[in-house]
Amino acid sequence: MKFFIDTANVEEIRKAKNLGVLDGVTTNPSLLSKENLSIKEIDNHYLSICKILEETGKKGDISAEIISSNYEDIIQEGEKLSSIHPKIVVKIPISKNGLKAIQYFSKKNIKTNCTLVFSSGQALLAAKAGSNYVSPFIGRIDDLSSNGLTLIKEIKDIYDTFHFKSKIIGASIRNTLHIIECAKIGIYAVTSPLKIIETLLYHPLTNKGLEKFLKDYKEKIY
């Protein structure tokens, strides 16, 4: 399973690269808004992220989200985003115009990521439109006392049954269990803040075990 980092923060992306867990990046307007950028700086910001992805030597890409809702504007914005760098995937919220735009980009071989997916019906439509990636939001479903992972499993089953080519990126990851369960279901990727991926490293028995190994070595080996 691929690890995408859900951030627009260059430092966090670099840290993920150094840890060897950077398979791709996803951003959204809220994440971008945390980076203190002017509109003029946004293209260059995406370029810096693309360069870090190139340094990994992997095929990873970055999903850059459009903010338009009108069909013509989505097309114009998406084409502009994809012209910044070949690693840019146009991220499009699900809607009637969004679906039409996904079909348009699919014919032009411009990669898309259909986002804000909260139901199997939406995921089915996104796949039929030819979206390369589909991003169901696990954590935000859990927040409403429902089960985000059940949705992931349902979408995976539907895509497998009909051999859809769309790849599922489990988004809105809130904890390590989300990551493990997504791996068990067997989806293509999760997109997560780096700190949750780092948490996968820790186990109290590892720390305790290491402490004892070092203590025994120091006390008994002469």
Considering the complex, what minimum distance in angstroms separates the CB of residue 192 from ligand G3P?
8
Per CB under 6 A, 131 contacts ligand G3P: no
Question: Which of 87, 91, 111, 156 is an active site residue?
Answer: 91
* 93 membership: H or E segment, kind and range: strand 88-93
Residues 92, 101 contacting (CB under 8 angstroms): yes
| Candidate residues 28, 82, 112, 132; the one interacting with ligand G3P per rule CB under 6 A | 28
26 counts as binding ligand G3P under rule CB under 6 A: yes
Which x/- pattern, by CB under 6 A, does the window 139-178 give for ligand G3P? xx------------------------------xx------
Whether 94 contacts 117, CB under 8 Å: yes
Q: What is the spatial distance between Cα 181 and Cα 149, in angstroms, rounded to a whole number?
A: 7
Residue 89 contacts residue 132 (beta carbons within 8 Å): yes
User: Least distance to ligand G3P from the beta carbon of 114, Å?
Assistant: 12
Residue of 175, 49, 61 lying closest to 111 (CA atoms) = 61
Determine, following the binding rule CB under 6 A, whether residue 132 of this chain makes contact with ligand G3P. Answer: no
Question: Rounded to an integer, what distance in angstroms lies between the CA atom of residue 181 and that of residue 74?
Answer: 34
91 is catalytic: yes
Catalytic positions: 91
Residues that bind ligand G3P (CB under 6 A): 6, 26, 28, 137, 139-140, 171-172, 191
